[in-house]
Amino acid sequence: MTDRVYINAVDCDGNPLSLSVRDGRIAALGAEPPAAGAAQVIDLRGHLLLPGFVDGHIHLDKSFVGGRWRPHRPAGSLRERLAIEKEELAAAPPMQERADALIAQAAAFGTVAMRSHVDVDATTGLVNLHAVMAAREKWRGIVDIELAAFPQAGVMSCPGTAQLLEAAVREGAAVVGGIDPSTLDGDADGQLDCVFGIADRLGAKIDIHLHEPGMEGVAQILRIAERAQALGLAGRVAISHAYALGDVGLQALDEAARKLADAGVAIMTNAPGDRAFPPVLRLREAGVRVFSGNDNIQDSWWPYGNGDMLQRAMLIGYRSGFYTDGELLTALHMASHAGAQVLGLEGYGLQVGNEATFVALPAPNGAAAVAAAPAQRFLFRKGEPVGEAATVFGVVSPAA
């Protein structure tokens, strides 16, 4: 039996779209409304339907969302910034509460999955990881949260961190992280030996924060790609930020892009506001998977952000100079399907057989949604209208 039929929606290209739901999954979809039979019929009144968003890079342990506003405090160095962060987090509400508040906010905007980097090093141990894991439990089945053990303070330069990264993976972190192997750690080979060694032994994915600029950063990208290819880790390695790809000339960029594509290494960018970032279209043309995330949200690093991945897609398009519909849809793909592929989500997207979880927005197509990032969202999970959606979209014909 079909539980519900949703009619009069539009797809990403603005074409008519209707779908039927049975047992929480999409049973049929297309331009013509499927036969309703005894099912409830819900008129979506021309709203755009999108799959839930995927935040490929967020820091649930750092945000002050759920607590009081904290004015940003400038810092003169990375180490000074880390000291400020520790001081402010110690005075903030419990981490589990703040993580829960940020997940709730992101979910309300339509996020259904995320990769959260969580600080794991010799100064914090596994405390942050355990707090975020506890917050994650509340959202299981609603928001799919993949955890990355992130050595914020360094690996080789922070003795004991290597052992804790391995412990974090054994306790449930699916991803092992790294950070600026040369400029922060001073030992690129040592850090990469550690990170890739853990991934190889324990079957973890890899996601390395790389802020190193220019050709120094490109050299790190090439090292990471070579190691990923040598270990057969295609599709399991990502580099977050990779600012260097926006610093260098086309020859160096294209060489790095070829290496990344050959090795199956993905690039995450949030299009940060104060510096160059990877050229999205040129990397994608070379076959590199490029995805997006919000990164830090209202924390010690910067005051911006609200967890809305559609707004992040708009910012990526804005900073990239995306004007055509095709380019705007690229930004949307980065905030949805590309991130889902990197996280390895199964059954994601508006396709027959997949879970009937989607977002309805007042927009004529996907490009328009990215350009305007309308704040109004109506959520549907497993075929059920959630919250406001249940009152706004009434049943046209009740079940017999």
- Quick: pLDDT tens for 352-370: 999 999 999 999 999 999 9
Question: Residue 338: what residue type?
Answer: A
- Res. 399: pLDDT tops 50: no
Closest CA to 149 of 180, 126, 183, 122: 126
Q: What is the pLDDT of residue 396?
A: 63
**Domains annotated on the chain, with CATH:** 4-51+349-396 (2.30.40.10), 53-343 (3.20.20.140)
Q: Which two structure tokens, joined as six digits, stand for 9?
A: 């929606």
- Res. 1: pLDDT tops 80: no
Q: What is the pLDDT of residue 92?
A: 93
The single residue listed with the structure tokens 């609603």 is 142
- Res. 188: pLDDT tops 50: yes
Query: Model confidence over 90-105: pLDDT tens digits?
Result: 999 999 999 999 999 9
Q: Phi/psi of residue 312, each to 5°?
A: -65, -40
Q: What is the pLDDT of residue 78?
A: 81
| Helices 188-202, 214-230: inter-axial angle, 10-degree rounding | 30
Percent of the chain with pLDDT over 70: 98
Q: What is the pLDDT of residue 43?
A: 95
Closest CA to 299 of 20, 62, 29, 81: 62
Q: What is the pLDDT of residue 400?
A: 39
Q: Which two structure tokens, joined as six digits, stand for 376?
A: 């109004």
Query: Model confidence over 280-306: pLDDT tens digits?
Result: 999 999 999 999 999 999 999 999 999
Question: Residue 400: what residue type?
Answer: A
Query: Model confidence over 233-264: pLDDT tens digits?
Result: 999 999 999 999 999 999 999 999 999 999 99
Is the pTM here over 0.85, yes or no?
yes
Dihedral sign from CA coordinates of 48, 42, 54, 71: positive
Contacts of 69 (CB under 8 A, 6+ apart): 298
Per-residue confidence band for 77, with pLDDT thresholds at 50, 70 and 90: confident
- Residues annotated catalytic, as ranges: 241
Per-residue confidence band for 313, with pLDDT thresholds at 50, 70 and 90: very high
